[in-house]
Structure 1
Amino acid sequence: MSTLGIIAILTLLYWLYITYDAHNGMHLLYTLPRSLKLPDKPPLVSVIIAAKEEESTILETVRHLLSQNYPRLEIIAVNDRSQDATGVRLDELRRWSQNKSEISTPLKIIHITHLPDGWLGKNHALYQGYQQTRGQYLLFTDADILFSPNAITDAVTYMKEQDVQHLTLTPNMIARGALLKGFVHFFLFSFSLFVRPWRANLDNAREPGIGIGAFNMVSRSAYEAIGTHKAIALRPDDDLQLGISLKKAGFRQKVLSGKHILQVEWYPTLKAAVIGLEKNLFSGFRYSYSIALLACLGQLIFFILPWLGLISLWDWRGAIYGLDVILQIWLYRKLMSRLMDKRAEEAYLLPVSASLLLYTIIRSVWLTWKQGGIYWRGTFYSLRELKKK
Structure 2
Amino acid sequence: MTFDPAWIALVLAVFPAATGLVNLFLLRAPEGRPPEGTLVSILIPARDEAANIGPCIEAALAQQGVAIEVVVMDDGSTDGTPDIVRALAARDARLRLVSAPALPPGWSGKMHACARLSEAARGTHLLFLDADVRLAPGAAAGLAAHAARHGIALVSGVPRQRIETIGEGLTVPMINLLLTGYLPGGGRAFTRLPGFAAGCGQMMLFERRAYEAVGGHGALRATLHDGLNFPRLMRAAGHRTEIVEGARLATCRMYRGFGEAWRGFLKNAREGMATPLGLPVWTVVLAGAHLWPFFLLPAFQAWLALALVFALRAAVTRRVGEPYWTVALHPLAVVVALAIQWTALARALLGRKEGWKGRDYAAPEAP
Superposition pairs of residues 85-234 of structure 1, within 5 angstroms: 85-98=80-93, 106-178=94-166, 180-196=168-184, 198-202=186-190, 205=193, 207-234=195-222
Matched residue, 1:374 = 354
Matched residue, 2:25 = 27
Instruction: Give yes or no for contact 1:166–1:219 (8 Å, CA) kept in 2.
Output: yes
Q: Deviations over 1:140-172 (max 9, x none)?
A: 111111112222122222322333222112211
Higher mean displacement: 114-123 or 151-160: 151-160
Q: CA deviation at 1:378?
A: 1.8
Report the residue type matching 1:186 in the other structure.
M
Q: Deviations over 1:85-114 (max 9, x none)?
A: 22232223222334xxxxxxx222121251
Matched residue, 2:315 = 334
Q: CA deviation at 1:331?
A: 1.3
Report the residue type matching 1:243 in the other structure.
P
Instruction: Give yes or no for contact 1:209–1:245 (8 Å, CA) kept in 2.
Output: no
Instruction: Give yes or no for contact 2:20–2:182 (8 Å, CA) kept in 1.
Output: no
Q: CA deviation at 1:218?
A: 1.2
Flag structure 2 segments of 5+ consecutive residues without an equivalent: none
Please tell me whether residue 61 in structure 1 is matched to residue 60 in structure 2. Answer: no
Matched residue, 1:262 = 250
Instruction: Give yes or no for contact 1:207–1:248 (8 Å, CA) kept in 2.
Output: no
Superposition pairs of residues 313-324 of structure 1, within 5 angstroms: 314=298, 318-324=299-305
Matched residue, 2:78 = 83
Distance 1:332 1:251, change over 3 A: same
Distance 1:155 1:110, change over 3 A: same
Report the residue type matching 1:9 in the other structure.
W
Counterpart-to-counterpart distance in 2, 1:261 and 1:319: 41
Higher mean displacement: 110-119 or 64-73: 64-73
Q: CA deviation at 1:179?
A: 5.2
Q: CA deviation at 1:127?
A: 0.2
Counterpart-to-counterpart distance in 2, 1:123 and 1:259: 25
Counterpart-to-counterpart distance in 1, 2:154 and 2:222: 22
Report the residue type matching 2:17 in the other structure.
T
Instruction: Give yes or no for contact 1:209–1:248 (8 Å, CA) kept in 2.
Output: no
Distance 1:88 1:179, change over 3 A: closer
Flag structure 1 segments of 5+ consecutive residues without an equivalent: 99-105
RMSD over aligned CA atoms reads 2.4
Counterpart-to-counterpart distance in 1, 2:30 and 2:66: 20
Counterpart-to-counterpart distance in 1, 2:180 and 2:23: 12
Deviating beyond 6 angstroms after TM superposition, the runs of 4 or more aligned structure 1 residues are: none
Q: CA deviation at 1:188?
A: 2.6
Higher mean displacement: 47-56 or 340-349: 340-349
Q: CA deviation at 1:347?
A: 2.2
Instruction: Give yes or no for contact 2:170–2:329 (8 Å, CA) kept in 1.
Output: yes
Counterpart-to-counterpart distance in 2, 1:11 and 1:388: 29
Distance 1:71 1:291, change over 3 A: closer
Identity in percent: 21
Q: Equivalent residue of 2:196, what SS? A: coil
Matched residue, 1:300 = 287
> How many residue pairs are counted as aligned between the two chains?
367
Q: Deviations over 1:51-82 (max 9, x none)?
A: 11111001110111112124421211111122
Matched residue, 2:46 = 51
Report the residue type matching 1:116 in the other structure.
P
Q: CA deviation at 1:371?
A: 5.0
Matched residue, 1:237 = 225
Q: CA deviation at 1:197?
A: 5.2
Counterpart-to-counterpart distance in 2, 1:221 and 1:181: 39
Higher mean displacement: 135-144 or 276-285: 276-285
Counterpart-to-counterpart distance in 2, 1:296 and 1:176: 28
Bigger Rg over Cα:
1
Counterpart-to-counterpart distance in 2, 1:42 and 1:337: 37
Q: CA deviation at 1:122?
A: 0.3
The alignment's TM-score, normalised by the length of structure 2, stands at 0.91
Q: CA deviation at 1:21?
A: 3.0
Counterpart-to-counterpart distance in 2, 1:349 and 1:26: 21
Q: Equivalent residue of 2:92, what SS? A: helix
